[in-house]
Amino acid sequence: MTRMEEDNLPQPLPHRLVEVMLVVGFDEDTGLPKPPGKEPEIDYSLDNIFKNDYEPCVLAAVSSSTMVYFHPFIRKDETYPPSNTHATHSSSQMTSLPELSVSRQIHRFSKHPTRLLSSSRNPKIMSHHMSTKGQVIAVPELPVSDEVIRSVAAFCFPDGAKVYKERPENCVHFLVLTDMSGSETYTSCLTFYRPYIVEKDEQGNLYFSLETSPAALEFGQTKCYTPNCILLISKYPYYTVLKACLSSLTALIEKDQKDMYTFIKEYAHILTWTPVPPAGDVAIELNLCQLSLTINPPDHCEKPVIDFPMYLTFLCFPIEEVLRIITCILVEERLLFLTTNYALLTVVMESFRNFILPFSWRFTYVPVLPSKSLGFLQAPGTFMFGCHSRHKEEAEQVEGLVLVDIDTGMVKINPDENGKVKNIPMMPLEPANVFKSKCKQIVLQFTLMDLNRPFIYNMEELHQRYNMKIRQCNSALASSCLELMVNLFRDIIFDTRVEHRRFKRDSFLDRKNESDREFYERVSSSDMFKVFLQDRFNEKSDYWSDLEMRTRKEAGVEQNPKANLVIGGRRLIRKASSLTLFSQIVSPDKDFIKFKLPDIVNSRQYVKNSLVALNKAVKECPDYGQRATFQYLRGLFHVANGDNIAAMDDLINLSAATVSLHHSRFVLRMLLLF
């Protein structure tokens, strides 16, 4: 791509669905690299390749504007992104990057001395002999942090990577990656296996070539399946949407292995130019090759979108254990979740993070901890980790650690050095009983929902029905969890002096039953509770305060003109069960208006077409809230088009009633451009 073409590219789209797509594993360029610190084996027999562990590598990265290959040396793909003059994906046009003036760097690990045999994209590249010496190489600017690029391979293959004689089943798991600044990104990973032919020469060197069509093996050859993992990294937890994208992509790759990067570029180009809808009634619809996708908005501007089945947590644990785990999180214990299914780790742990809203876990959080990083279990401080059940025996040696076994549905607390087991307080009985009753009903109704419905044989309709059920169940469970948090902490308002930014903890605890006091003592000492109090001091109007205000009368709380002062009386709160009898769950089956994104060929024309479609939607939409959403989306595309004045016009002119649609940080960043 020429400099003129690069200058003509639009700006990256803010609030996009995917930041970057990564490919991790082995290929013709990497050979089979040994893990750091392990000497190459002298016996190069073909059978041994199935016994060893190998160090997976980041093979490629694709953002909205750049595609980079990392091996055997870093080079950019000059045909990406596609433009009016580059409509095809010819991977032979590469530019090596030996002296990029960027600060981003990664370390290449020591490689097994492997020579390469392949019908390559570039013979000069393919004939490069892999060096056994580690080196530091520069990486072009990508929308993910340095540490993500350096460490992500270990999270793709938490138990290490091998090659196989028989093709294993493809598998999916999910990650939450946190950089040094504390910013989280959400990742869906799909591991699939590519067929390679391996042969050995007289000197013991292994040759590695992709099998593009079935053929009989010659003497001295063997066939193996090497793992590749494709990751979609997003700032938003659309786990299921990204899983659908990856499933569609790998299905295409497995039909035509040699064109893998052609498909990857096409998918990445679409997904990195897809905006995420704000909270409201408008969903975004797009065509991803032959797949039709719908991206639903979050329920509330301050809540993360829930794009995974939360009811699975209630299938894994008895309701009493769910409450016990919630208590462990609220009192900030050190927790380790264990299961044999890596996909379950993130789903269950993310469910619990949603259960405790508006409280937010502020400590170390790693849903999938690689096997080689188990030493972090001995680290001081508070954390929430997840790992494979095979490490349970090792985890049981860590003093005071709370073990949450997803496979058995049991919670166990390791004794300390004196053999004493830490006590976890019981959650107050009345709010707990209300929660148990509602959640049991919700899960039961979800299970029986389709019993009286006829079978559906249309796959698209079946998929839509399933997604609707999950959305209904998630909404009901999230509402019940919010009711639990309101029932537990409603009466802090009577011990809070807003004007003095003071909370009378002793008075708050004195009013509690003796059996509940330990719970509130532990929770009120936590860091999460202090942040929650700060929001009350700031008179923050959020989903917790909205529900608390709406249900005061039903809960037996009388309005007081001095609500921000401490009330001297005792037991002003009625039974928590009264709250559930009168509160209403937000309708979970509401229909979204779908905005169809135009098809994308090149990004410049796509931005223009999107602006035309959004101009029409703003002009024709009769509903004020939906029109505000279209206006917000139009502002994002104005940014991509380089028209910052028009973007600020759209965002600032949104009414105060719809100010929650746009992100304050985004508006602030826009203002700094002037």
- Looking at the structure, do residues 206 and 266 belong to the same domain, yes or no? yes
- Looking at the structure, do residues 93 and 118 belong to the same domain, yes or no? yes
Domain-terminating residue out of 582, 613, 641 = 582
Which pLDDT score, from 0 to 100, does residue 668 have? Answer: 60
Q: What tens digit of pLDDT does each residue of 593-641 get? A: 999 999 998 888 999 999 999 999 999 988 888 888 999 999 999 999 9
How far apart, in whole angstroms, are the C-alpha atoms of residue 376 and residue 158? Answer: 14
Which structure tokens are listed for 207?
């040759």
Domain-terminating residue out of 549, 582, 615 = 582
Give the residue-averaged pLDDT of 400-414.
96
Buried b (16+ CB within 10 A) or exposed e, 234-270: bbbbbbbbbbbbbebbbebbeeeeeebbbbbbbbbbb
Residue where the block lists tokens 């993070």? 353
- Looking at the structure, do residues 404 and 452 belong to the same domain, yes or no? no
Residue 196 lies in a domain: yes
Which pLDDT score, from 0 to 100, does residue 624 have? Answer: 84
Residue 298 lies in a domain: no
DSSP E strands in 87-238: the ranges are: 94-96, 105-108, 135-138, 171-178, 184-200, 206-210, 221-234
The terminus-to-terminus CA distance of the chain in angstroms comes to 30
Q: Alpha-carbon Rg of the chain, whole angstroms? A: 27
Confidence grade of residue 576 (pLDDT, cut at 50, 70, 90): low
CATH of the domain at 397: 3.40.50.11500
What pTM was computed for the model?
0.87
Which pLDDT score, from 0 to 100, does residue 497 have? Answer: 87
Residue 300 lies in a domain: no
Residue 3 lies in a domain: no
Q: What are phi and psi of 176, to 5 degrees?
A: -120, 115
Give the residue-averaged pLDDT of 357-363.
95
- Looking at the structure, do residues 265 and 398 belong to the same domain, yes or no? no
Residue 516 lies in a domain: yes
Residue 51 lies in a domain: yes
- Looking at the structure, do residues 27 and 51 belong to the same domain, yes or no? yes
Confidence grade of residue 189 (pLDDT, cut at 50, 70, 90): very high
Residue 302 lies in a domain: no
- Looking at the structure, do residues 509 and 619 belong to the same domain, yes or no? no
Domain-terminating residue out of 363, 380, 413 = 413
Q: Which amino acid is at 269?
A: H
Confidence grade of residue 113 (pLDDT, cut at 50, 70, 90): very low
- Looking at the structure, do residues 466 and 393 belong to the same domain, yes or no? no
Domain count, the chain: 4
Which structure tokens are listed for 225?
């399946």
% the chain with pLDDT above 70: 80
- Looking at the structure, do residues 503 and 466 belong to the same domain, yes or no? yes
Residue 357 lies in a domain: yes
Q: What are phi and psi of 61, to 5 degrees?
A: -135, 135
Contact between residue 39 and residue 33 where contact means Cβ atoms under 8 Å apart: no
- Looking at the structure, do residues 362 and 396 belong to the same domain, yes or no? yes
Confidence grade of residue 572 (pLDDT, cut at 50, 70, 90): very low
Contact between residue 80 and residue 265 where contact means Cβ atoms under 8 Å apart: yes
Element (H, E) at 461: helix 459-489
Domain that holds residue 623: 599-672
The total number of residues shown for the chain amounts to 674
- Looking at the structure, do residues 242 and 161 belong to the same domain, yes or no? yes
- Looking at the structure, do residues 530 and 461 belong to the same domain, yes or no? yes
Give the residue-averaged pLDDT of 555-560.
60
- Looking at the structure, do residues 603 and 548 belong to the same domain, yes or no? no
Confidence grade of residue 274 (pLDDT, cut at 50, 70, 90): very high
